[in-house]
Chain A
Amino acid sequence: MTDKPVVSLRNLSFTYPGATSPVFRDFSLSVGGSEFVAIVGGSGVGKSTILRIASGLIKAESGTVEIAIAKEPTRRRRALVFQDGRLMPWRTVAQNTALGLEGLALSEAEKTRRIADVLALVNLSDMADRWPHQLSGGQVQRIGIARALAVKPDVLLMDEPFSAVDAMTRRHLQTELVRIWQQSGTAIIFVTHDIDEAAFLADRIIVMGDSPARIVNETTVPVDRDLRRDSQDLSRYADSVAGALDFQI
């Protein structure tokens, strides 16, 4: 962990309705102020559920979610990026981006400025008036990221956001995400099933496994970000994570 924790998940346990045993038990994770943490694990270990608990969409059976930074009327402390992009088809790109700003103590001018800023950040300024059906899969994902960044969150929660796009687009979006993260300085918890993706993006990779699930491996990736795409070292870290996962499967 690089900084003082901005978000701390402590001893989270969760049982799906109707299930007899918890999907994970006593799961704890702290993420620093501008840290990029990836969570990997097999299907059904509850990776997405952890994000949903962290985002406040569902409640854990036990445990707490603590966000170190106090609430502010002009920001939201956490924002979720969905696997399917999930834009509202009846809203334009700009209106979708504004969703989280509605209800915040912001003037119309400030809202407009924020929307323009985040659309510029994801290189989609010229798409502001488009409808979602006019966008490609990669553009939908980038708008999903812009919508989340518009609320200036302390932590960005990303649920397999690139799993539904083709390999070329995924590679491009990964590079874009690193640039956006470096510019925004937001902490990120990124759930993925792709080990190479986790190794390319993250400062730290958490491997979930076992039943009930827990953290079975934690790997720090100290490789320089500018060298990551072709780094042999990166493969070594990815292999280490894969080894931990294989052991579970």
Chain B
Amino acid sequence: MITGTAHLRRVALGVAGLLTFLLLWKATESFEWVRRGTMPDPLLVPAAAMDELRSGRFLPAIGSSLIHYFWGLGLGTVMGFIVGALAATIRSFDDFQRYLARVLRPIPPLAWVVFAIAWFQVSHAGAAFVISIGVFWVNYFATYTAVQNVDPRYYELAKAFGQGNYLARSMKVTLPAAMPGVMGGVRTGVGQAWMTLIAAELLGVPGLGQEMNSAAGVGAYEAVVVYMLAISAVYALSDILFATVEGRLLRWRP
């Protein structure tokens, strides 16, 4: 149990950490500890944020990013979950996909950009495709491991009470028992998708990454920071949303 004083102390320490970072940042810029003109001034970031908002590019960039983010995240999560669950529960399918997974898994999502552009041009679909690959593997392995680690005593219990067929086992044991591990994978995928998204957009797909790249090209580093903070804010929001869903789904845990 955290007391009120202890909570205040933790908040104060967190704020102190942020302020220390801002001070170091400002000092780096003021004392030119890095090459002159390449370090944005933290005090100018709010003004840059207002400029970007007024420019009419900021909100459309977020909207554009969110489109391929959700498509890529959704596709990668669903496919990773399905393939991981099937591989973990059907021995012949596991054998069938075993070597294929070993060949494809080490290829970084961004290596697929070449084919994404060839197949989908510079588009939402191309970016979503690249994002989905990274998310797929995270969810595939999380689901595979979670399903394999389901306590076999629950399968015995289900069988003893007439729930022994594949569908009943899957719905009444595998899915709920593996859910904490699966949700861990989904949460990692939510973060992974943002990382891949920005990298994919740096190659030309409209969105936050592309705006960041354009701003950097003209030396508007404060604007770059604005987009970085926007990414952070959107990620924090999606993580809070996810934590709410996860808390609801796993409310049975102590």
Interface residues of A (CB under 8 A from B): 55-57, 76, 79-80, 82, 84, 86, 88-92, 99-100, 102-104, 131-133, 147, 151
- A133's nearest neighbour on chain B, judged by CB, is B254
Q: Report the Cα distance A55→B157, complex, angstroms.
A: 11
Q: Report the Cα distance A102→B161, complex, angstroms.
A: 9
A-contact 0/1 string along B135-163, CB 8 Å cutoff: 00000000000000000011011111111
- B161 to A99, Cβ gap below 8 A? yes
Contact A76 to B162, CB < 8 A, known contacts A90-B252, A131-B252, A133-B254: yes
Most A Cβ at <10 Å: residue of B159, B160, B173, B254: B160
Asked if B204 lies at the interface with its beta carbon under 8 angstroms from chain A, I say no
Top 7 A-B residue pairs of the complex, sorted by shortest distance between their CB atoms: A100-B161, A90-B176, A133-B254, A80-B160, A90-B252, A99-B161, A131-B252
Contact A88 to B161, CB < 8 A, known contacts A103-B168, A131-B252, A133-B254: no
Asked if B177 lies at the interface with its beta carbon under 8 angstroms from chain A, I say yes
- B158 to A99, Cβ gap below 8 A? yes
- B162 to A88, Cβ gap below 8 A? no
Asked if B179 lies at the interface with its beta carbon under 8 angstroms from chain A, I say yes
Contact A89 to B252, CB < 8 A, known contacts A57-B156, A103-B168: yes
- B157 to A86, Cβ gap below 8 A? yes
> Which residues of the partner chain B approach A102 to less than 8 Å between Cβ atoms?
162-163, 168, 172
Q: Report the Cα distance A98→B211, complex, angstroms.
A: 56
Q: Report the Cα distance A86→B252, complex, angstroms.
A: 15
Q: Is the interface of A mostly helix, strand, loop or mixed?
A: loop
- A103's nearest neighbour on chain B, judged by CB, is B162
Q: Report the Cα distance A151→B163, complex, angstroms.
A: 13
Other-chain contact of A88, B159, B168, B176, B253 (Cβ < 8 Å):
B176
Q: Report the Cα distance A120→B253, complex, angstroms.
A: 26
- A57 to B160, Cβ gap below 8 A? yes
- A103 to B254, Cβ gap below 8 A? no
- A157's nearest neighbour on chain B, judged by CB, is B160
- B252 to A79, Cβ gap below 8 A? no
- B160 to A88, Cβ gap below 8 A? no
Contact A88 to B157, CB < 8 A, known contacts A100-B162, A103-B163, A103-B168: yes
Number of A-B residue pairs with CB-CB distance less than 8 Å in the complex they form: 56
- B173 to A79, Cβ gap below 8 A? no
Q: Report the Cα distance A82→B162, complex, angstroms.
A: 15
- B179 to A84, Cβ gap below 8 A? no
**How many residues of B sit at the interface, in one of the four size bands?**
10 to 19
- A79 to B254, Cβ gap below 8 A? no
- A144's nearest neighbour on chain B, judged by CB, is B157
5 further interface pairs, Cβ-Cβ under 8 Å (given A88-B176, A99-B172, A102-B168):
A57-B156, A90-B177, A90-B252, A91-B176, A133-B252
- A99 to B252, Cβ gap below 8 A? no
Contact A91 to B252, CB < 8 A, known contacts A76-B162, A79-B161, A99-B161: yes
13 chain-A/chain-B pairs, Cβ below 8 angstroms: A57-B156, A57-B160, A82-B153, A82-B157, A86-B153, A88-B173, A90-B252, A99-B158, A99-B161, A102-B172, A131-B254, A133-B253, A133-B254
Chain A proximity of B250: nearest CB distance (Å): 8
Other-chain contact of A147, B153, B159, B161, B163 (Cβ < 8 Å):
B161
> Which residues of the partner chain B approach A91 to less than 8 Å between Cβ atoms?
176, 252
A-contact 0/1 string along B230-254, CB 8 Å cutoff: 0000000000000000000000111
Q: Report the Cα distance A224→B31, complex, angstroms.
A: 95
Contact A55 to B160, CB < 8 A, known contacts A88-B154, A88-B173, A90-B176: yes
Q: Report the Cα distance A100→B163, complex, angstroms.
A: 8
Q: Report the Cα distance A104→B163, complex, angstroms.
A: 11
> Which residues of the partner chain B approach A82 to less than 8 Å between Cβ atoms?
153, 157
> Which residues of the partner chain A approach B172 to less than 8 Å between Cβ atoms?
88, 99, 102
Chain B proximity of A128: nearest CB distance (Å): 14
